[in-house]
Chains A and B, each alone.
Chain A
Amino acid sequence: MANVQVLYAEDISGAITANSTAWVDVCSIAAGSFTAGAKCLIIANQNTHNDSASEEGRIRLVHGTTPTVFDDASLAFESGVNGEHLVSYMFLFTQPGTTELIKLQISSSSTNVTTSDWGQIIVINLDDIGADGTNYFWDEDLVDYTMIAGPIAKAITASFTPNGTDRWLFIGHMIYDVVGITAPVGFSLWDSVAGELSRRQQEGEDGTNDFLGHNVFWVGVPTNAARTLSVRPYSTSSAVMLASRVIAINLSVFAQSAGAFAAAEVDPATSPTYTTLATVSPTPSVTGDWVYIAFGVEDGNEFTSDFRTRLQVNPDGGGLISDPAYPNTVTTNLWDTADEIALSVFNLRQLDSGAARDINFDATQIAGTTGRWQTNGLVAFSVALANGGPPPAVASRMPLLGAG
């Protein structure tokens, strides 16, 4: 059975710190792991906190031994003292002939201490699942755009028509300069048929220095109708979108997949009791690696809202374990009661065949009473490909006998 190449790196130690403007590595995927010339989907998360409320923590995603920063991927955030903050990335990157490492780095604006709570990178070799425009649809928009109150589609896929039975994964990403600090800056993940699938928004705190990046997700079975998928930024604070990216992946290319998504708000139990926001229970037909991604949006509603989350899996029937066992954190700094904070966390790990393997994304409320979780979901798919893999790209097909 053919597999899609998936690479993963994490650091969940909470022990990596930066206390100067020098960049410190958090986690890395070695150059030798990659396939030369491969078109890679990169998704990364970096959760950090900073010990100063007036300085910034800084994050970037780079490639190469002499680091080259991905487009617009040098970010910074101001937080409350030790307030946690998650930034996320999504890139499509074609590895050069001599492959390059990919890594997350952190630094500080001065001698303040920026601490990595957890960082993670996952890379999927898209060449293994087919060409753009067949099993996945991608777009990015790198033209700076000053947002207005009404959402405007920026990154937008070509039109595609699901068959009405296949499960799809949709991901939207935006990097932006907050510019103003008096209004939320957000974006919708927008389906031209179904409308808004999910969104996130947050008010800026430092108009000069805050540069942020976030991801939102949706998984499900789209109807059999032609559609486009887009990222639609909006703000009244003069915020500038530096980059937006969107991808739709037909999960039927994988041998197995499972998905759950609900837009209904969830009011998690008070700590220490966890409430499940989303759950899936795939039954692997063979023992092998799976990718799973949990995601949700925290609707703060009040400045004191604070939650913890965890991602648990029962990989072999031995019981639920947290994996990744990241410090079960979530962004705590709300700059406006209208903030809606996106969180995602993912993993690559083996699931044994023989029974359903539960995967749960849970949350518990640490502080506040009116905070909620909205647009929660979980997606899991095997790295094993369906039917031995996708059809070859047109350019590599053998000519038909007798043609031409």
Chain B
Amino acid sequence: MNDVIEPTFPSDADRLTFLSRLWGVTITAKDVADWEAYKLLRPTKLLTQTESEYSERFRLWNEGRYDPLRRAQYVWAKWESYRLGKVKPLAEAWLSNKPNPNRSQMQQAVLLQLQDKFADKLARVNAAKDLLPLVTGIVW
């Protein structure tokens, strides 16, 4: 069992659609590319820098990730880091007696995970209509 739960999708575009609807922010392939570019800007300490100078450069980069203009990148980075998060108790319990869950059962596991981890986001989206049909399976 993985530590995180990861829904799978028919295509990368469907995955972005899922995340866009869940988070209420449009995420495009360009945002993914922009995040990759931003990651490359993460400072490393230069020999000519003091630790404090390096710390400040890193802080500017780190706090820059929260710039509302980078919101889509922020959401994508979350996905990149931990998919839908650590498997939460309800989802884990649901799957515990289903060694080979079918698609509906996997969608239910995703829903339970969303209800635990993304309750505030679910309040503004119809999960049954707009999210779960995109899910073809899970990796966990």
- A interface vs B, CB < 8 Å? 21, 51-55, 58, 69, 71-72, 74, 81, 107, 109-110, 112, 142-144, 181-182, 205-209, 211, 242-243, 303, 335
Chain A residues closer than 8 Å to B63, beta-carbon distance: 74
Residue of B nearest to A113 (CB): B120
1/0 per position for B43-59, CB-CB distance to A under 8 A? 00100000110011011
**Which residues 80-133 of B sit at the A interface, judged by CB distance below 8 A?**
80-82, 85-86, 89, 116-121
**Which residues 24-81 of B sit at the A interface, judged by CB distance below 8 A?**
45, 51-52, 55-56, 58-59, 62-63, 65-68, 71, 74, 77-78, 80-81
C-alpha gap A324/B58 in the complex (Å): 35
B3 within 8 A of A: yes
- Determine whether the beta carbon of A142 is less than 8 Å from that of B3: no
C-alpha gap A58/B66 in the complex (Å): 10
Number of A-B contacts (CB under 8 A): 72
Chain B residues closer than 8 Å to A81, beta-carbon distance: 119-120
- Determine whether the beta carbon of A21 is less than 8 Å from that of B120: no
What are 14 A-B interface contacts by the 8 Å CB criterion? A21-B68, A52-B120, A53-B119, A72-B58, A74-B63, A107-B66, A110-B71, A112-B120, A181-B4, A205-B86, A206-B82, A208-B78, A208-B80, A243-B55
C-alpha gap A52/B67 in the complex (Å): 18
* Minimum CB–CB distance for B54 against chain A, Å: 8
C-alpha gap A303/B90 in the complex (Å): 13
C-alpha gap A143/B45 in the complex (Å): 9
- B interface vs A, CB < 8 Å? 3-4, 45, 51-52, 55-56, 58-59, 62-63, 65-68, 71, 74, 77-78, 80-82, 85-86, 89, 116-121
Q: A58-B66, A206-B82, A207-B81 are in contact. List 17 more A-B contacts (CB 8 A).
A: A21-B68, A53-B116, A53-B118, A54-B120, A54-B121, A69-B56, A71-B52, A71-B55, A72-B59, A74-B59, A74-B62, A107-B66, A110-B66, A205-B86, A208-B81, A208-B82, A209-B65
Chain A residues closer than 8 Å to B58, beta-carbon distance: 72
Chain B residues closer than 8 Å to A144, beta-carbon distance: 45
Chain B residues closer than 8 Å to A208, beta-carbon distance: 77-78, 80-82
C-alpha gap A110/B74 in the complex (Å): 10
C-alpha gap A142/B45 in the complex (Å): 11
Residue of B nearest to A181 (CB): B82
* Minimum CB–CB distance for A177 against chain B, Å: 9
Residue of B nearest to A53 (CB): B117
Chain B residues closer than 8 Å to A207, beta-carbon distance: 81-82
* Minimum CB–CB distance for B87 against chain A, Å: 11
Known: A53-B116, A144-B45, A208-B77. A109 touches B51 (CB 8 A): no
| Interchain CB contact (< 8 A) of B59 among A51, A54, A69 | A69
Residue of A nearest to B86 (CB): A181
